[in-house]
Amino acid sequence: MSIYSYTARNIRGKDVELDQYKGKVMLIVNTASKCGFTSQYADLQKLHEKYSESGLQILGFPSNEFGEETGTNEEVDVFCQINYGVSFPLFEKIAVKGGNKHPLFRHLTEQAGFEGFDEDNSNAKLLKLMLLNRDPASLEDDEIKWNFTKFLVDREGHVVKRFESFVNPLDIESSIQALL
């Protein structure tokens, strides 16, 4: 199954078929408004502004998997616009892990599994310690570990790379440029 086979509801409740993004490079991100990584919205927006005309499409998928996206879809939308000027597409809150995981995220995690933590990155070390304390078993599978996990998808709809929460969006700019 291709990334283009999936449909998701946008933040306003309208079905969006992902095949409308054929030929685009996509960065698909699970997001949250009350997370230590929430400021990544600003850098996602910078990437959107810089590369959307070259074919980059950022897609944000809010999720309350980790208890950090408690607002309604409308509240999430307003928060993102007011605080970060987000103009890339946002979708309805979805499950990104577990048995009720949205089929898109099932596909993403099957195509790009968890590769571990960068032990040289202080945010990665903190996230790993937190997960070791909360749910050590979660470190042993390919599920989403936390908010702001990013999946880079090429113009043909293939998942190219997964970037964990602690990787800043601007740090993957060269990977995006290589696909554009």
Q: Looking at the annotation, which residues are catalytic?
A: 35
Asked if 117 and 125 count as a contact pair (C-beta separation under 8 A), the reply is: yes
Spell 143-177 as b/e; 16+ CB within 10 A means b: bbbbbbbbbbbbeebebbbbbbbbbbbeebeebbe
Identity of the amino acid at 157 = G
What whole-number distance in Å separates Cα of residue 175 and Cα of residue 178? 5
What whole-number distance in Å separates Cα of residue 63 and Cα of residue 28? 13
First and final CA of the chain: distance in angstroms? 23
What whole-number distance in Å separates Cα of residue 7 and Cα of residue 109? 17
Query: Under DSSP, is residue 79 helix (H, G, I), strand (E, B) or coil?
Result: helix
The residues with which 26 forms a beta bridge, in sequence order, are: 57, 153
